[in-house]
Amino acid sequence: MRPREIAVVGAAETTRLGVIPDMSQIELHADAALNALADAGLKPGDIDGIATAVETPQQIAHYLGITPTWVDGTSVGGCSFMLHVRHAAAAIAAGYCTTVLITHAESGRSGIGRPPRQVAPDSLAGQFEQPYGPMGPPSLFPIPVLRYMKTYGTTHEQLAMVAVVQREWAALNPRATFREPITVDDVLNSRMIAYPFRLLQCCLVTDGGGALILTSADRARDLPQKPVYVLGTGESVETPMVSQMESFTSSRAFRVAGPTAFREAGISHADVDHLMIYDAFAHLPLYGLGDLGFMPHADTGPFIAARQTAIGGKLPLNTNGGGLSYMHSGMYGMYALQESVRQMRGTAPAQVKGAKISVAHGVGGMFAASGTVVFTNEA
Amino acid sequence: MAQPTRARPVPTPETQHFWDGTRRGELRLQRCTACARSYFPPRPFCPACGSRKVEVYAASGKATLYSYVIHHRPAPGFTPPYAIAVVELAEGPRMMSNIVDCPQTPEALELDMPLDVVFEALDETITLPLFRPAKG
C-alpha cells in the first residue's frame, strides 16, 4: 500500500454505548456495521471484504448477508482492528477486494451472547501464570509498571494525572460514560484494585461496538464522506504471557509497530496533530509515548503531569476520554480508531482545530500485540 | 464442599520435566548447548537460536523481585491482598510466582530484594515453585 492509496469512507459506533442488556454481542456487531454502511452510503452487497476479531468472519459475514472475496480473522486482542486496517489496505491495494468492512462489538458488561474468556490449564499461561492468582487484565496488565516507575522515576501522582486529564477530555464528549471532573487525590483515594493501580486508573467495562469501511481513494471520491486516508501502518506481536516480556520498561511490539507506521507514512513526531494510545490502564500512554519515540521514557510522566496531553497542550491525547472515561467493551482499539477518524473528519466533540495527521496506537492481550495506524485528511 | 483452590496447571509432554522437578524440590530450567542461553518456559528447542540441542538442569533457586502487583480482589485459593510477582532467576529467565513468608505490602516487597525458591505441593502430582525473602 502506498500512502493515501486507501481511505476510510465509513465509520460508526453502535447507536448506544454503555449498558445494553437488550442486545447480544453479534447484534452489536450488526448495529455498528449498519451504522457504518449508512455513514458510507453503502449496502451490505457493496462489501466484498470482511474482518473481525473474537467473533469469526464467517459469523459476521453470514449474519449481515455479505459474500466476501477476502476475509481476515486476526484476533490478537484489543488492537486487532489496527491490524485489520493494515491488512485491509494491503488487500485492497493488491486487488483481493474493493471494499472492506471491519467490525468490533462486545457485550463486555452485560455478557449477552458472549463466549467466556478462559485460559486453558495446559497452555503455557495456564501452567506458568494462572496458578499464581491473576484474575484477568486488572491483575496482569499492570505487572510491569512498578519496574517502569523504579527505572524512570515515574510517580504515583503522574500516573494519576493520566486519568485526570482524560476525564477533562471526556467532559467535552456527550457520549462518554464518565464526565464528572476528578482530581489526583480522587484517583489516589479510589478503591485499590491491584497495587499500584486504583479503580480510576483502570478502564471501564461497557457494552458497545464500532465498524469501519475502507476502499480505494479513487472509489472514495464518489462516496458521501470526506475520505480519511491511511498514511502508514505497523503491527507486531511479542508474548501471550506478560511475565515473559523481553523488557518491563518498554514493549517490543510497540517498538516494532509504531516506528514501522511512522516510516511508512513518512512523518516525524512533530507532524502528529492528534494521538490515540490505547489506555486500558493508566500506564499505557506512558509506554506508548516512549516506545513510539515521542520522548524518552523518563519524560513521559512529567509530560502528562505538565498537562501537555490535555486540552490546549502540545500533543492532544485520547481526546474521546479514552478507555478510562469514554468506554471500554474489552477490545478498545476500535474506539481509538473511531476517534482518529472523527478528528480527521473534523467532527469530534473535542475537535483538535486544524488537525491533519492522527495516530491511533493499539495494544492487545496485555502487551501481547500492537498495531499502529497513521491517518491524514489531506489527499 | 472443598474450598476453591488456585488454578491447577496441567503439564504437557514438553513441560513435564519442569513439574517432575518441582515435585522433587528442584527448579528445572533448560539451556541451549549451542548458544549457552538459559530459557523459560520449557520447550524442546532454544528460542534464541532455534537449536534442538538443549539440556535440562537444576537452577540455583536464587532470584530477585523484578516487579509485581498486589491484588485486592477475591480470587479462588487466595486471601487478598496478595502479590502476583515476577521474579528474575539468577540464571537469567524470569517467571511469575508468589512471594511467601513476607507481608504483602509495598513496604515489605522491595524491588530487587533477594529471594529463594520454596516448593508448595498442590496435590500428589503438582508442586508450585514459590519464593520467599532470602535469609541473612
In chain A, domain spans: 6-113+204-376
Predicted local distance difference test score (pLDDT) of residue A118: 87
The Cβ-side half-sphere exposure at A116, using a 13 Å CA radius, reads 3
As given in the structure block, the three cell numbers for residue A61 are 459475514
Residue A88's nearest CA partner among A379, A360, A369, A373 is: A373
Do B67 and A139 form a contact (C-beta atoms < 8 A)?
no
Specify the amino acid at residue B80. P
Which of A195, A198, A202, A238 would you mutate first to test chain B, the one with the most B CBs within 10 A? A195
Phi, psi angles (nearest 5°) of residue A108: -70, -30
| Contact: B7, A241; criterion CB under 8 Å | no
Comparing CB atoms, the residue among A124, A135, A248 nearest residue B71 is: A135
pLDDT beyond 60 at B76: yes
Contact status of B113 with chain A (Cβ, < 8 Å):
no
The one-letter amino acid code at A349 reads P
Measure CB to CB from residue B69 to each of A126, A127, A195 and give the nearest one: A195
B72·A195 Cβ contact <8 A: yes
The domain over range A6-113+204-376 is classified in CATH as 3.90.1150.10: no
Record: contact A195-B81, CB cut-off 8 A: yes
What's the average model confidence in pLDDT over B111-121? Answer: 98
First to last CA, chain A: 15
Tens-digit pLDDT profile for residues A84-136? 999 999 999 999 999 999 999 999 999 999 988 889 999 999 999 999 999 99
pLDDT digits (tens, 9 = 90+) for A313-356: 999 999 999 999 999 999 999 999 999 999 999 999 999 999 99
| Residues of A marked as catalytic | 278, 326
Pairing of strands A49-52, A99-107: parallel
Neighbours of A87 (CB within 10 A): 21
**Residue A194: which of B9, B66, B69 has the nearest Cβ?**
B69
Banded model confidence at residue B3, pLDDT cuts 50, 70, 90: low
Please report the DSSP string for B61-98 in residue order: -EEEEEEEEEE-S-BTTB-SSEEEEEEEETTS-EEEE-
Q: For residue A317, which phi and psi values (nearest 5 degrees)? A: -130, 130
Nearest to A147 among B8, B70, B111 (CB): B111
Predicted local distance difference test score (pLDDT) of residue B1:
47
Across B30-36, average pLDDT: 93
Rounded CA-CA distance A37/A48 in Å is 13
d(CA A309, CA A162): 9
DSSP assignment, residue A226? Answer: P
In this complex, the residue of B12, B81, B86 whose CB is nearest that of residue A143 is B86
- What are the strands, taking DSSP E only, across chain A? 6-13, 49-52, 70-72, 99-107, 192-195, 197-198, 207-216, 228-237, 274-277, 357-364, 369-376
Cis geometry, peptide bond prior to residue A316 (ω within 30 degrees of 0): no
Q: How far is B33 from chain A (nearest CA, A)?
A: 22
Cβ of B122 within 8 Å of Cβ of A241? The answer is no
Contacts of B7 in chain A (CB under 8 A): 119, 121, 126, 130-131
Q: What is the pLDDT of residue B98?
A: 98
Q: What is the pLDDT of residues A238-288, one digit of tens each?
A: 999 999 999 999 999 999 999 999 999 999 999 999 999 999 999 999 999
Contacts A–B by Cβ distance under 8 A: 112
Residue B70 Cα, gap to closest chain A Cα (Å): 5
Q: Is the pLDDT of residue B91 over 70?
A: yes
**pLDDT over 70 at A199, yes or no:** yes
Inform me whether the C-beta atom of residue A142 falls under 8 Å from chain B C-beta atoms.
yes
First and final C-alpha spacing in chain B: 42
Nearest CA in chain B to A249: B67
pLDDT in tens, A132-183: 999 999 999 999 999 999 999 999 999 999 999 999 999 999 999 999 999 9
Q: Between chains, do A122 and B81 touch, taking CB under 8 Å as contact?
A: no
Spatial separation of the C-alpha atoms in residues A374 and A231, rounded to whole Å: 5
Distance from CA of B135 to the nearest CA of A (A): 23
* Side chain identity at residue A162, one-letter code: V
List, as ranges, residues 12-41 from B with C-beta within 8 Å of A.
12, 15, 40-41
The two most distant CA atoms of chain A are separated, in Å, by 56
Q: What are the residues facing A274 on neighbouring strands?
A: A358
Query: Rounded mean pLDDT of A13-29?
Result: 97
**Is B106 an 8 Å CB contact of chain A?**
yes
Residue B4 has pLDDT above 90, yes or no: no
Place of cell 516525524: A268
> Please, are residues A144 and B69 in contact by the beta-carbon 8 Å criterion?
no
- What share of chain B in percent tops pLDDT 70? 97
- Three cell numbers, residue B127: 508442586
ipTM of the complex: 0.97
CB atoms within 10 A of CB A115: 9
B78 reaches A (C-beta below 8 A) = yes
Is pLDDT larger for residue B66 or for residue B136?
B66
Residues A337, A81: contact at Cβ < 8 Å? yes
Binning pLDDT at 50, 70 and 90, where does residue B2 land?
A: low
Burial of residue A67 (number of CB atoms within 10 Å: 0-12, 13-18, 19+): exposed
CB contact under 8 A, A143 and B67: yes
C-alpha cell at A76: 490478537
Q: What is the pLDDT of residue A188?
A: 98
Contact A327, A17 (CB under 8 A): yes
